[in-house]
Amino acid sequence: MFDTRNPPVREMDIDRPCAARIYDAFLGGGHNFGIERGFAESLERALPGIADAYQENRAFLRRVVEYLLAHGVRQFLDLGSGIPTIGQVHEVAGRRTRDFRVLYVDNEPLTVAHSKPLLADEPRAEIIHADCRDPKSVLHAPEALELLDFDEPVGLLMAAVLHFIPDSDEPLALVDTYRDALAPGSHLVVSHLTGSHNPDAMRILTQRYADTADPLHPRDAERIEELFGNFEILPPGTVYLANWRPEPGQPTAQCRYRLLYGGVARKH
């Protein structure tokens, strides 16, 4: 049974930095405002090199999608996707095959408005305005039912989204609900902020995001691993992202702060 929670509808807010547009700014995208660029510049001064963490998450997402495609997954549900530019899922998939489908989901109105024109010429990808804390609104959306076949394996991507969900919204139970909706052979992908390795940097990052529209809720590495439930966590396990299947023959670049942790798990 799907969760029936009804989170409040998110209103348009251009007076505070938004996480999706901050991410876009750090990736060098053009779908952000001065307030996000100013936030990124200020954060970089407080934590020199922090931009590498955003790049690290995007590189992890690319490697994950390529891994899933190589193992037969052809459809992806990307929760809290942000703006699908600069190496997003459909771009990675499109370089490997024409047989793919991607449903992006975000709850921020401007993010969705900016994204729709970017996907207008891609019939295999769509974005919907929905809150991932309401699984029914996502899984029963007309676009989801048209684009995805939940009787077949799905790559469920929860990359850099769960650390925006407070404990009061029960993230573990939320992920359980999505996992239950997936067919055998599906994969769950999680990347999540943690201060387990570098608490001082995580404290500064959390303080800065407290003044944005999307405050952070970092979690210990052990709690992040619990999100995979009874799925089989694939090698190399839950690790800092740069250590998840780095490119063969390439040096393993590490963000100096090591704040992002996660992995991939499979449903049997």
User: With 50 as the cut, is the pLDDT of residue 30 above it?
Assistant: yes
d(CA 90, CA 121): 12
* CATH code of the domain containing 194: 3.40.50.150
Classify residue 10: in a domain, yes or no: no
State the average pLDDT over residues 236-251. 88
Classify residue 219: in a domain, yes or no: yes
State the average pLDDT over residues 12-27. 91
Residue numbers of the domain that contains 142: 19-266
Split at pLDDT 50, 70, 90, the class of 209 is: very high
Q: What is the share, in percent, of the chain residues with pLDDT greater than 90?
A: 90
The length of the chain is 268
Classify residue 13: in a domain, yes or no: no
State the average pLDDT over residues 22-42. 96
Q: How far is CA 191 from CA 33, 60, 216, 258, in A?
A: 26, 9, 14, 12
Residue 19 has, within 13 A of its CA and on its CB side, a CA count of 22
| Res 1: pLDDT | 39
Domain count, the chain: 1
Radius of gyration of the chain (CA): 17
Mean pLDDT for all residues in the chain: 94
The residue that leads in pLDDT, 217 or 10, is 217
User: With 60 as the cut, is the pLDDT of residue 252 above it?
Assistant: no
Classify residue 77: in a domain, yes or no: yes
* Residue 236: cis peptide before it, omega within 30 degrees of 0: yes
| Res 187: pLDDT | 98
| Res 5: pLDDT | 58
Q: For residue range 136-194, list pLDDT tens digits in order.
A: 999 999 999 999 999 999 999 999 999 999 999 999 999 999 999 999 999 999 999 99
User: With 80 as the cut, is the pLDDT of residue 21 above it?
Assistant: yes
Split at pLDDT 50, 70, 90, the class of 251 is: low
Classify residue 14: in a domain, yes or no: no
* 260 three-state secondary structure: strand
Classify residue 11: in a domain, yes or no: no
Classify residue 235: in a domain, yes or no: yes
Classify residue 2: in a domain, yes or no: no
d(CA 81, CA 84): 7
| Res 254: pLDDT | 65
